[in-house]
Amino acid sequence: MKLACQEGLAPGAAFADRAARLESYGFEGVELNGARLLDASGLAERRSVLRDSAIRASSICGGFPCELVHPDPARRRKCVDTVKTLLDIAAELGATGPIAVPIFNSNDRLPDLSPWKSRHELELQLLITVLTELGAHALSVGARLHLEPLNRYESNALQNIEEAAWVVREVGSAGVDVIPDFFHMNIEQEDVPASLRSIAPQIGHIHVADNTRKEPGTGSIDFTAGFAALREVGYDGWLALECRLSGPADEVLPRSVEYLRRCLG
């Protein structure tokens, strides 16, 4: 398994500076911000730096509204089209693909039509339909869309990785997979290693943060057991830091890399 870190966590005014810092900390990859890639100059800067850097593009996260199941068709379409653009960019830069959630908690949600269908049931069926289109596009360009379930405090549209894996199986496309996040799993899964084993075929990417929502090594999550389960099922992809930092990046990120390497064994 390879370690990556979100670009915004590294200090530096230019992307080249941040990439160099991440390499010096011991990371092998960088998780790119979607907003920077949707800007022509930002994309050109990252394309140029990554061409000559030992740091590889791991994935794309954030920087656009995640509204795959928004009740407004126009906003849904805008989200889908943005994800398609990021799939194209991911394929060009050698990243696995963009990360998307169905929708965050807000008042802009589908109605509850019980007893016919609950809001949750409606959102899952709409999500499957939307992901079918995105999965086809992902396959056509050679990338994947990583579907991320969140914890109950951030979204109740999709909360646990087993349900996310069911959605992916219903979509039936290798262009869509699941990204388990250790922070969210710590809240929603009763047994993280067992849950990871149960969805092994659908795992495409991993986010790591401790239960503090800060860098791994600052809390109580058992990363050793989780990584052992991932190794057992043959996962050899990216582990990308998505977190806040407990101190200066130059101090805490190298320390977290060392901690994660120990957990990997």
List residues with catalytic annotation: 148, 242
Distance (Å, whole) CA 56 – CA 159:
30
Tell the burial category of 225 from Cβ atoms under 10 Å away from its Cβ (0-12, 13-18, 19+): middle
Six-digit token string for 172: 């039936």
End-to-end Cα distance, the chain: 11
Distance (Å, whole) CA 84 – CA 128:
16
Beta-strand (E) ranges in the chain? Answer: 2-6, 29-33, 56-61, 99-100, 145-147, 176-178, 206-208, 238-241
Sort residue 238 into left (φ over 0), alpha (ψ -120 to 50) or beta: beta
